[in-house]
Amino acid sequence: MKRGGLLGSVLLLLFWLLTTQSYAAEPDSLSLKIGQMLMIGFRGLSIADAPEITKDIAQRHIGGVVLFDYDVPSKSSLRNISSPEQLSRLTLDLQKLSSIPLFIAIDQEGGKVNRLKAARGFPTSISAEHLGLLNNPDSTSAAAQQTARTLKAMHTGMNLGPVADLNTNPDNPVISKLQRSFSSDPTVVTRNISLTCSAYQHEGIIPTLKHFPGHGSSTTDTHRDFTDITATWSDKELEPYRLLIASGYRDPVMTAHVFNGNLDPLYPATLSKATLEGVLRNKLGFKGVILSDDMQMKAIADHYGLETAIQLAIDAGVDVLIFGNNTTYDPAIASKATEIITSLVARKLITPERIDLSYRRIMELKQRYHLDRT
């Protein structure tokens, strides 16, 4: 090896060691590792408005927060976002509270699913459906670049998108009716997702493919009730995931709360080991971080107790549990989830090794995106 190459390798190793030590201030702390597995939603336009999330970050070491522009339980038009200036201050202040850089996440898909609205000073966005109909690489790349640069300027490092669902049911109330899918053709979906993810990654924004194993054929909305896609789902809905993972995609995948008896006769995907470990990890070869969809959505919350849902999700392979606090609002949800997971480990219902596995995946993703560089 040449001298310059050796020096470069030594410097790279030194950088990795320093960042690893700074990220893992308490490397042997079970509470820290459990906290990193939680992403929590909250009310407030500033940290002064949000004492609960401040404690969750500083004391419970939660790994991420998720932001919304509208508060559903109170039907308030203000939640976390009022202007670019306000949002930038909020996200910087949130990061300063944490010893480990936070995932600060948002659903900025474009079109109707759009948290950063033009009326509040953000750029106008375009729906995935419109981009899929154009199916033009330049248009898709330009739209994704604008989204990524906007998120970067707002210090919001994770987008909960793009949507990998196929537009197979035109009457689907939560996918097709909201223009969230690029196409019913998996080739078109895959091409546009690849372009979108490349634009995000270039700007340092973490993309998240959703909703695995496919929500496009559903006839009901998992926000509202149990959703069974057994009779409507087909294997082609896996095709975007199969192609992207085979080509090297290793950023997060988000689960769907859909029940698919073809894959698991007992549990919806978020709680299904057969679906997440069996299909996503073993069959498709995915090695990255798995995020749950919001655990407070009614497809889960109305049919499973909180402890049961958390245990099943972790056992299934979920690394980050999202509690958006925007279906119902529970300011103590991070505390409850932490206590439940700690108890499950103490009772040997979840092993410390299982917690370590998620923690390592989470930390690898945070280090790879250098989330400490705001």
Reported pTM: 0.91
* C-alpha of 88 from chain center: 20
Q: pLDDT tens per residue, the chain (374 residues)?
A: 444 444 444 343 443 444 444 444 445 599 999 999 999 999 999 999 999 999 999 999 999 999 999 999 999 999 999 999 999 999 999 999 999 999 999 999 999 999 999 999 999 999 999 999 999 999 999 999 999 999 999 999 999 999 999 999 999 999 999 999 999 999 999 999 999 999 999 999 999 999 999 999 998 867 877 789 999 999 999 999 999 999 999 999 999 999 999 999 999 999 999 999 999 999 999 999 999 999 999 989 999 999 999 999 999 999 999 999 999 999 999 999 999 999 999 999 999 999 999 999 999 999 999 985 44
Domain count, the chain: 1
Domain membership of residue 251 (yes or no) is yes
- 10 falls within a domain: no
Distance (Å) of CA 98 to CA 63, 67, 205, 331, 350: 9, 17, 19, 18, 26
Catalytic residue among 69, 251, 264, 293: 293
Whether residue 9 is contained in a domain is answered as: no
State the amino acid at position 292 in one-letter form: S
Q: Please check whether residue 36 lies inside any domain of the structure.
A: yes
Does residue 14 form part of some domain? no
Quote the CA–CA distance of 178 and 9 in Å, as a whole number: 48
Rounded Cα–Cα distance for residues 240 and 189 (Å): 7
Find out whether 178 and 184 touch, Cβ atoms under 8 Å: no
Residue 194 inside a domain? The answer is: yes
Task: Please tell me which residue in 221, 223, 319, 330 is annotated as part of the active site.
Answer: 223
Residue 125 within any structural domain of the chain: yes
Say which CATH number the domain at 103 has.
3.20.20.300
Asked whether residue 47 is assigned to any structural domain, the reply reads: yes
| Alpha carbons 153 and 149: distance in angstroms, whole number | 6
Show the domain range for 41: 30-368
In the chain, the N- to C-terminal Cα span, in Å, equals 35
Whole-angstrom CA distances from 358 to 32, 268, 301, 351, 364 are: 12, 21, 23, 12, 10
293 is an active site residue? yes
Is-catalytic flag, 171?
Answer: no
What sign for the dihedral angle of Cα 163, 165, 171, 172? negative
Q: Are 179 and 162 in contact, with CB atoms under 8 Å apart?
A: no
